């Protein structure tokens, strides 16, 4: 099965424009179309992006469509109750795009629903592996591939296929240029408001900053929407903000458009990524594409994604650690030479590794291997 014109299902429980996995699905769709395949999206919930209508099969029983396709690309990121049926009912090659599943431990005490979905998602990973019916795995990163190898998967059946992102579209646009003059330093953090995403550490760093450089205010801009299932966590973050005396220094921005987010990043001094678990980290490469210097924790796939010449540090655990982290963030945000070196290396990382053409070529080549080509 090597010819183009084949029908390929791109399956995930939810596909929405602007979401990291949604953007990966949409990028695959366009790459397949450009290469002569006939793609379709298969999901239970669909929020289409602007532009021409795509072939999307939306419904509560997506496995009913499996006879319409020659191959399946199954995106796996969390427990999908219908996913086992979608996978089992496919008769052609099955490719699993492995985005990793957040360990349930992060959600214990905050959300039984998320803890359950993450636990069962990891069980689902094991079922996919144990079925012996995965034709090929596509891992976002070497970190994700290593997890599959730890399950016992043959490394020869795993391809590293980074996700499609908006980053290539941002490269030709004006680079980050924070406003001059006397003003606060602006640090941006983009992530859903969840216990693994590092909001508490960003606040503790900001608290240490006030002691380290009281003459220079720091403003945190948190870009992340409220989730009713994680209300307890948000309350904890709000209480920490108050206890550190940071009221007025933290600005929450919920669900901005892509254009508004780009403007936020362009006007910032530094991007913060203090997540404790990442299978790739899309906001990091989008920030790099806009020329924003970054400071990150060395967690999961972050060092690999960030590439050379970036500031990637061990996660903090003590007050002294947060003082050191605040000093690093201060240096990156205020030193013109250091900012330029980090920003140039970040832009080169995107241009050399994550262009749409390179990602499409890697993805299609992996698919063709699964098809026997």
DSSP string covering 39-64: EEEEESEEEPPSSS---EEESS-GGG
Residues 348, 361 within the same domain: no
Q: Report the distance separating Cα 223 and Cα 192, nearest Å.
A: 8
Residue 85 lies in a domain: yes
Structure tokens at 141: 């990163």
- pLDDT band with cut points at 50, 70 and 90 for residue 66: confident
Any domain includes 71: yes
Separation between Cα atoms, residue 16 and residue 82, nearest integer Å: 18
Is the same domain home to 160 and 218? Answer: no
Rg (CA), the chain: 21
223: CATH? 3.40.50.2000
Q: For position 179, what pLDDT does the model report? A: 58
The reported pTM is: 0.94
62 neighbors 9 (Cβ within 8 angstroms): no
Same domain, 27 and 60: yes
Q: Is 1 inside a domain boundary?
A: no
Q: Let me know whether 308 and 184 are in one domain.
A: yes
Instruction: State whether 207 and 131 are in the same domain.
Output: no
In sequence order, which residues have a C-beta less than 8 Å from that of residue 357 and are 6 or more positions away? none
Is 362 among the domain residues?
A: yes
What is the tens place of the pLDDT at every residue in 19-54?
A: 999 999 999 999 999 999 999 999 999 998 888 899
Assess if residue 43 is contained within a domain.
yes
Is the CA virtual torsion 361, 363, 366, 372 positive or negative?
Answer: negative
Single out the residue of 114, 119, 160 nearest to residue 136, CA to CA. Answer: 160
250 falls within a domain: yes
Give yes or no: residues 43 and 185 share one domain: no
Q: Who's near 345: CB < 8 A, 6+ residues apart? A: 307, 308, 309, 310
Above 90 in pLDDT, residue 187? yes
pLDDT at 169 over 80: yes
Token match 């010819």: residue?
3
| Cβ within 8 Å of residue 344, ≥6 positions away | 309
- Distance CA(55)–CA(307), nearest Å, equals 35
Q: How far apart are CA 273 and CA 43, in angstroms?
A: 30
What pLDDT, in 10s, does the model give residues 358-367? Answer: 999 999 999 9
Are 114 and 218 members of one domain?
Answer: no
Q: How many helices (H) and strands (E) does the chain have?
A: 13, 15
Distance CA 285, CA 165 (A): 8
Can you give the length of the chain in residues?
373
Give yes or no for a contact between 153 and 129, defined as CB atoms under 8 angstroms apart. yes
Residues 222 and 347 in one domain: yes
Examine the domain organization and report whether 268 and 175 are in the same domain: yes
What's the rounded Cα separation, in Å, for the pair 211 and 219? 14
Q: Is the pLDDT of residue 65 over 90?
A: no
Are both 155 and 183 inside the same structural domain? Answer: no
Instruction: Kindly state whether residues 360 and 272 are assigned to the same domain.
Output: no
- Using DSSP, state whether 252 is helix, strand or coil: strand
pLDDT band, residue 96 (cuts 50/70/90): very high
Q: Has residue 326 been placed in a domain?
A: yes
For 263-275, what is the mean pLDDT?
A: 96
The rounded distance, in Å, linking the Cα atoms of 373 and 368 is 5
Shortest CA distance to 269 belongs to which of 323, 338, 211, 215?
338
Place of tokens 């970040």: 346
Whether residue 2 lies inside any domain: the answer is: no
| Structural domain containing residue 208 | 169-353
pLDDT of residue 173: 77
How many domains does the structure of the chain reveal?
Answer: 2
CA dist 167 and 350 (Å) reads 7
Looking at the structure, tell me whether residues 24 and 151 fall in a common domain.
Answer: yes
pLDDT tens, residue by residue, 103-126: 999 999 999 999 999 999 999 999
């Amino acid at each position: 099965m090597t010819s183009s014109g084949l029908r390929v299902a791109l399956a995930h429980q939810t596909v929405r424009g602007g979401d990291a996995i949604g953007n990966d699905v949409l990028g695959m769709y366009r790459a397949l179309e450009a290469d002569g395949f006939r793609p379709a999206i298969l999901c239970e919930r669909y929020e289409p992006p602007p532009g021409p209508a795509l072939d999307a099969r939306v419904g509560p029983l997506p496995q009913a469509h499996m006879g319409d396709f020659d191959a399946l690309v199954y995106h796996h990121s969390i427990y999908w109750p219908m996913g086992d049926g979608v996978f089992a009912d496919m008769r052609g090659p099955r490719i699993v795009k492995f985005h990793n599943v957040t360990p349930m431990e992060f959600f214990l005490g905050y959300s039984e629903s998320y803890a359950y979905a993450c636990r069962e998602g990891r069980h689902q990973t094991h079922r996919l592996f144990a079925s012996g019916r995965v034709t090929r795995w596509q891992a976002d990163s070497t970190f994700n591939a290593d997890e599959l190898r730890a399950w016992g998967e043959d490394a020869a059946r795993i391809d590293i296929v980074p996700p499609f992102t908006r980053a290539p579209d941002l490269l030709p646009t004006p680079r980050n240029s924070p406003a001059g003059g006397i003003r606060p330093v602006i640090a941006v953090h983009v992530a859903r408001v969840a216990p693994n995403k590092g909001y508490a550490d960003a606040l503790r760093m900001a608290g240490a900053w006030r002691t380290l450089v009281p003459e220079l205010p720091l403003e945190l801009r948190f870009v992340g929407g409220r989730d009713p299932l994680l209300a307890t966590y948000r309350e904890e973050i709000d209480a920490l903000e108050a206890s550190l005396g940071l009221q007025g220094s933290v600005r929450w921005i919920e669900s901005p458009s892509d254009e508004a987010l780009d403007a936020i990043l362009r006007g910032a001094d530094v991007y913060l990524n203090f997540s404790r678990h990442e299978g790739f980290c899309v906001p990091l490469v989008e920030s790099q594409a806009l020329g924003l210097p970054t400071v990150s924790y060395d967690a999961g796939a972050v060092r690999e994604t960030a590439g050379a010449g970036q500031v990637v540090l061990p996660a903090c655990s003590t007050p002294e650690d947060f003082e050191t982290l605040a000093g690093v963030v201060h240096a990156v945000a205020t030193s013109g030479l250091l900012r330029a070196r980090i920003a140039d290396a970040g832009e080169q990382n995107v241009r050399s590794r994550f262009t749409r053409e390179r990602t499409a070529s890697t993805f299609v080549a992996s698919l063709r291997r699964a098809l026997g080509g």
